[in-house]
Amino acid sequence: MIEKHLMFKQINEHLLTDAQPSEYFNAIQDDLFFSVFPFTMLSKLKETPQSVQHHPEGSVWNHTMLVIDEAAKVKKQSKNPDVLMWAALLHDIGKADTTRKKRDRVTSYDHDKVGAVKARQFLQEFTEDESFIEQVVGLVRWHMQILFVVRSMPFANVEGMKEQTDVEEIALLGLCDRMGRHGVDRKSEEGNIRLFLQKCRL
């Protein structure tokens, strides 16, 4: 089995250079390394369901694959493409531990907060670059703020978000997240991102 640090380097290369990184990930998803920590955090996403209403594409893994492909299209717009791509891969890593099914309803409350902890654990297995880790963790922790801010929900915390991460980068990841679903309207989602940025600047 391939050494895990080498696999990390391969993943990083594909995230940063592939036009559709999902092709690489789907090709290797059954490899043995997925049974080794911390890659088990990713493999669990294949079995983690989502709300059919909001995520008709299926599992968290399916959604994540769509998101990294969207991120690959816009990574050159990011101040830190490597941070954006890793955040796209890890943004919903907390759903494996927070997803609950009750009758026909699927929820994953606080997956952003749990995901921040998981993302840090994952990356610390491979790098001591604390700046890189903190930037990725910040995007994972606050990626749900777009929904909260746009809908003026009580979970919105613009000041807290600004203290830990870059709002423009959250917006970029957020668009990828929103577009990483089946049956969405790009113009509508782009409008939500503009509204989010406007509210953050008030």
For 36-66, the pLDDT digits (tens) are 899 999 999 999 999 888 899 999 999 999 9
Torsion angle, alpha carbons of 53, 185, 151, 88, to 10: 80
CATH number at residue 179: 1.10.3210
Which letter, b or e, does each residue of 69-93 get, where b requires 16 or more Cβ atoms within 10 Å of its Cβ?
bbbbebbeebebbbbbbbbbbbbbb
pLDDT given at position 33:
77
Domain residue limits at 48: 4-200
pLDDT in tens, 124-143: 999 999 999 999 999 999 99
pLDDT given at position 34:
85
pLDDT given at position 2:
65
pLDDT given at position 5:
86
Q: How many domains does the chain have?
A: 1
pTM above 0.85, yes or no: yes
